[in-house]
């Protein structure tokens, strides 16, 4: 637990004296559940993080010594297990249907009028449609016994172990009731930005990351992702069923569930106010800390719901109003695959150019085979294309199948570059050949990029030429190759060769922090490298010692490094190929020990108290992290999303929705690149 401020002057440690192990375990379990509810549900913690951790560790130790006394709702279940999950199928005990959908206010109001014509004047209740993963929770006598995905509406996957790591989902209700609940598990935007930033293969959006987390094979890994939840339906025993949906939500909250407070009740005869509510939500959507893709309008009266019943597809008493994302219609002309520096194979749709959100899109990432199968996508299909978050182009749906008879596209069995057999690892296919020229190119391009070693004049085109012509086969060969050999080739005059050699020589003075992160090891970006160095692993020799000892405990003791990252570090740095590259780079003169304590270079504090968000692309700041570094060097804070606390928005070419959000939030300091350059000069 962290991140909240409160006063703990009256905090007193709990004394375990004279208690039996069983009694102490029961006492600690109850107390920690109370603290978890205060922190994750009510946002009003009454104890410090240190005290909570002390009690949590004590409970863990006791449960390890006396497992027979561990409770099925123990707070220690929140950290998950290292055991493999098998995701058995379970049959739902309640209807888990889809919702009827509309994208127009006129259709929505027609549905309201039609519903009232069948029921009479009625109350409606409106909720935000969270863009997350639907979940079905089953409680027996107040204990969580099962959590399942929606699946096909009748059968879902058992993800109980992973869901138990979601802090806002109670393992034990405040009352010993039998209950089935439906809700949405999601990842808040700020948490998504932080988690995605440290992943070697980032996710396209929070929903995808939340879904992937719930399907982790080890719940301990799921527990590293700060998922959250809102519960929106409860199915109680008949004698205990509330009369209205508003009462259902109130009852769910009493039982310990997290319920979205942004719910609106429309009194009978006031259904026309729903149209105004939609516009209000459309505007406020831009400032929410989580993603919503629409609204859900429901009858409030449970008896009326039962009278209307269900179709084979959806309840007749509810409808989803979907926000219209900026979309274009195009045709898939072909699907290629790209090979990344980690060997990951990414399918890319080549589409007829279409304008979406003000820019022309002709290439769209399709992520993986599962994504393509979900769309049932084939070459020649007519598709809708959107920009998720107004940034990332995405194929949303197939609107018309091709007339050529093309089947759903399938991933090739071999790497299109080197011919090696592809290996399915999780949801993605990989080329495992370390000598694959596409991987080599990607690794060298990453190593030499501005954000990493910043080797002057060594751009992607030059690297492509070097690899394609067999001059360079690995990163270390940059420092041993005689670039004078290139002078006989077009484009490689004396000046360019001189600049490349100077850039390589200059890079030998780069700090170990940047050298380590530039190796391109999965999960080892700037943040993890910084974490290692700040915790005393300030040289490659110390890191390799931890790896040789397989010291997962040591690595996971550092804040920000979880079990999965620790295992990846050990696996990757055990590779003979990587170790040989490190030794070759060491011989070339690169630094493999941090020579000075890490600290952010602070030029001055002219931007102190300012919160900046960045959108668009820039001439002088490629990548945008260079602009962020300039802001932080002057005492400012850089955030990933526009909120009411954002003071400045730095706007480049082709800005996304953040510009609209800034205007909606009344942010007066919208700064273009020229003004930003002037501010930097003044500061």
For residue 275, the Cα-to-chain-centroid distance in whole angstroms is 32
Instruction: Output the CA–CA distances (angstroms, integers) from residue 334 to 337, 351, 364, 399, 406, in the order listed.
Output: 10, 7, 11, 17, 11
Helix (H) or strand (E) holding 126: strand 124-130
Token representation of residue 194 = 């932080």
- 186 exposure class (CB count in 10 Å sphere: 0-12, 13-18, 19+): buried
The answer to whether the beta carbons of residues 520 and 585 sit under 8 Å apart is no
Contact 35, 46 (CB under 8 A): yes
What stretch of H or E contains 284?
helix 273-284
Closest CA to 533 of 574, 452, 603, 592: 592
Two structure tokens written together for 447: 């190593």
What does the alpha-carbon distance between residue 662 and residue 655 come to, in Å, rounded to a whole number?
Answer: 11
Alpha helices (runs of H) in 78-158, residue ranges in sequence order:
105-119
Report whether 329 contacts 354 (CB < 8 A): yes
For this structure, is 129 an active site residue? Answer: yes
| Residue from 34, 65, 101, 129 carrying the catalytic annotation | 129
For residue 561, give the nearest of 592, 537, 578 by alpha carbon: 537
- Pairwise CA distance, residues 585 & 565, whole Å: 24
Q: How many angstroms separate the CA atoms of 334 and 349, rounded?
A: 6
- Please, what is the angle between helix 540-548 and helix 576-588, to 10°? 160
For 475-488, b/e burial (b = at least 16 CB within 10 A) is bbbbbebebeebee
DSSP per position, 107-123: HHHHHHHHHHHHH-S--
Coil/strand/helix, residue 582: helix
Element (H, E) at 136: strand 133-140
- DSSP secondary structure letters along 519-574: T--TT-SHHHHHHHHHTT--BHHHHHHHHHTT-HHHHHTSTT--HHHHHHHHHHHT
Backbone dihedral region for residue 520 (phi beyond 0: left; psi -120 to 50: alpha; all else: beta): left
Q: Please state at what angle helix 563-573 crosses helix 576-588, rounded to 10 degrees.
A: 70
- Are the beta carbons of 414 and 421 closer than 8 angstroms? yes
Give one DSSP letter per residue of 609-676, joined into a string.
Answer: T-EEEEESB-SS-SSTHHHHHHHHTTT-EE-SS--TT--EEEE-BS--THHHHHHHTT--EEEEHHHH
The catalytic site residues sit at 129
């Amino acid at each position: 637990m962290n991140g909240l401020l409160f006063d703990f002057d009256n905090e007193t440690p709990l004394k375990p004296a004279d208690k039996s192990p069983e009694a102490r375990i029961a006492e600690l379990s109850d107390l920690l559940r109370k603290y978890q509810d205060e922190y994750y549900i009510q946002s009003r913690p009454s104890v410090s993080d240190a005290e909570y951790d002390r009690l949590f560790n004590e409970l863990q130790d006791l449960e390890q010594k006396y497992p027979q006394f561990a409770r099925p709702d123990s707070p220690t279940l929140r950290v998950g297990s290292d055991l493999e999950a098998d995701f058995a199928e379970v049959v739902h005990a309640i209807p888990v249907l889809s919702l009827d959908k509309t994208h127009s206010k006129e259709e929505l109001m027609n549905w309201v009028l039609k519903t009232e014509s069948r029921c009479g004047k009625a109350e409606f209740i409106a909720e935000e449609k969270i863009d997350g993963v639907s979940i079905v929770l089953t409680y027996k006598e107040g204990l969580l016994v099962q959590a399942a995905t929606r699946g096909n509406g009748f059968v879902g996957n058992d993800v109980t172990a992973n869901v138990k790591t979601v802090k806002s989902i109670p393992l034990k209700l405040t009352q010993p009731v039998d209950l089935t609940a439906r809700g949405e598990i999601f990842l808040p935007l700020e948490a998504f930005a932080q988690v995605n930033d440290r992943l070697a293969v980032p996710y396209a959006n929070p929903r995808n990351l939340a879904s992937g987390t719930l399907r982790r094979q080890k719940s301990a890994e799921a527990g590293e992702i700060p998922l959250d939840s809102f519960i929106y339906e409860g199915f109680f025993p008949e004698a205990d069923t509330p009369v209205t949906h508003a009462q259902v939500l109130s009852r769910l909250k009493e039982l310990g569930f997290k319920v979205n407070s942004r719910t609106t009740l429309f009194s009978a005869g006031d259904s026309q106010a729903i149209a105004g509510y939609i516009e209000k939500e459309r505007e406020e959507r831009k400032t929410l800390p989580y993603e919503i893709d629409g609204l859900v309008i429901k009858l409030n009266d449970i008896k009326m719901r039962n009278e209307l019943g269900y179709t084979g597809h959806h309840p007749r008493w509810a409808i989803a109003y979907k926000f219209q994302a900026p979309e274009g219609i195009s045709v898939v002309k072909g699907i290629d695959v790209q090979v990344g520096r980690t060997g990951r194979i990414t399918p890319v749709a080549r589409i007829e150019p279409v304008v979406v959100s003000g820019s022309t899109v002709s290439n769209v990432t399709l992520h993986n085979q599962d994504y393509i199968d979900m769309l049932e996508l084939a070459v020649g299909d007519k598709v809708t294309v959107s920009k998720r978050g107004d940034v990332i182009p995405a194929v949303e749906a197939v609107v018309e199948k091709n007339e050529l008879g093309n089947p759903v596209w399938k991933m090739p069995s071999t790497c299109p570059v080197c011919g090696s057999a592809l290996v399915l690892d999780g949801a993605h296919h990989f080329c495992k050949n370390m000598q694959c020229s596409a991987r080599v190119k990607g690794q060298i391009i990453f190593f030499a990029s501005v954000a990493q070693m910043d080797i002057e004049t060594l751009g992607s085109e030059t690297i492509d030429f070097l690899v394609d012509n067999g001059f360079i086969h690995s990163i270390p060969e940059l420092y041993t190759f005689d670039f004078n050999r290139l002078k006989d080739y077009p484009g490689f005059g004396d000046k360019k060769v001189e600049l490349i050699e100077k850039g390589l020589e200059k890079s030998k003075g780069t700090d170990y922090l940047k050298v380590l992160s530039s190796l391109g090891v999965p999960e080892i970006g700037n943040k993890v490298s910084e974490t290692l160095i700040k915790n005393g692993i300030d040289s490659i020799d110390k890191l390799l010692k931890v790896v040789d000892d397989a010291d997962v405990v040591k690595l996971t003791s550092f804040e920000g490094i979880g079990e999965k990252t620790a295992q990846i570090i050990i696996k990757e740095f055990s590779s003979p190929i990587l170790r040989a590259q490190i030794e070759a780079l060491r011989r070339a003169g690169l630094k493999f020990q941090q020579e000075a304590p890490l600290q952010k270079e602070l030029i001055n504090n002219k931007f102190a108290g300012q919160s900046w968000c960045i959108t668009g692309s820039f001439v002088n700041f490629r990548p945008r992290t260079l602009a962020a570094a300039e802001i932080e060097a002057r005492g400012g804070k850089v955030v990933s999303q526009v909120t009411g606390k954002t003071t400045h928005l730095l706007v480049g070419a082709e800005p996304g929705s953040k510009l609209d959000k800034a205007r909606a939030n009344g942010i007066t300091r919208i700064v273009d690149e020229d003004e930003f350059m002037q501010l930097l000069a003044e500061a």
